[in-house]
Structure 1
């Protein structure tokens, strides 16, 4: 596409869409959202950038090969499932811990967050592989 308006708009929209993607990812444990929807929004933002500029330019923005994202996401999901086995719990049982920080206060972090991060990475990676393959044809 060779639209000056869209090229200008995507410079402002890309960071906002990626921030909304992270918001959806973090919100997903207690309300609608999570890794799948956040990953789709992130890959949609990168796809818009790729359509306005080029697939090569979008690959430089991402900085990580999409296939690496897929592998890392599968590894995160596997670790979140296997970790409870070391504590005598069934596969994919949620483990939780509390971390206290000065700026954010008490954070409750668990293996479901790690699993969602894996889903986020896999969905983003797979979608970007499709988008880049279609745009490079």
Structure 2
């Protein structure tokens, strides 16, 4: 895209949208939001960047291909599901630390599961959209 205004704005919006997506991820196990919505917002940030700076520049910014995030996210989610089972509890039982972390709050297996979902959503959305973008030119 040739718009200088949009190109400049997207450079400033990328870190703001990523920070907002992390906020949505962290509040998700208490209020609406979480890994899926946070992952979509992060994906939108990178898609906006790719619209204005080209897909290859966005892939260089990411440093790893988004496809690599999918198995990592699935592994993190699966780990959070089966850790309680190792302790003799049913699968997907919520485990929580006793003390809250100052900015984040209580950390538990729900947050770890949401983190895995966050990575999977970013990986799937960006892989699909970047593949379409690269092969449509």
1:128 to 122, 126, 133: 126
Contact 2:100 2:107 in 1 (8 A): no
CA RMSD of the aligned region, Å? 1.6
Q: Alpha carbons of 1:93 and 1:55: their partners in 2 closer, same or farther (altered >3 Å)?
A: same
Q: What TM-score do the two structures reach when normalised by structure 1?
A: 0.92
Asked if residue 86 in structure 1 is aligned to residue 80 in structure 2, the reply is no
In the aligned structure 2, how far is the partner of 1:129 from the partner of 1:22? Answer: 20
Q: What TM-score do you get using the length of structure 2 for normalisation?
A: 0.92
Output the CA distance in 1 between the equivalents of 2:39 and 2:85: 28
Q: Distance in 1 between matches of 2:31 and 2:105?
A: 17
Q: For structure 1, list consecutive stretches of 5 or more residues without a partner in the other structure.
A: none
Shift of residue 130 of structure 1? 1.0
2:26/2:104 contact within 8 Å kept: no
Q: Secondary structure, in 3 states, of the residue corresponding to 2:89? A: coil
Distance in 1, Cα, partners of 2:20 & 2:127: 22
**Counterparts of residues 50-129 of structure 1 (less than 5 Å):** 50-99=50-99, 104=102, 107-129=105-127
Contact 1:98 1:107 in 2 (8 A): no
Change (3 A) 1:105 1:98: farther
Q: Over residues 26-57 of structure 1, what are the superposed CA-to-partner deviations in whole Å (9 max), with x where a residue is unaligned?
A: 01111111000000000000000001111111
Cα pair distance change 1:9/1:38, threshold 3 Å: same
Shift in Å, 1:106: 9.0
CA displacement at 1:108 relative to structure 2: 2.1
> How big is the shift at 1:98?
3.0
Cα shift at 1:105: 7.8
| 1:77 aligned counterpart, secondary structure | helix
Tell me how many residue pairs correspond in the alignment. Answer: 135
Q: Secondary structure at the match of 2:107?
A: strand
Q: Is residue 42–residue 122 contact of structure 2 (8 Å, CA) maintained in 1?
A: yes
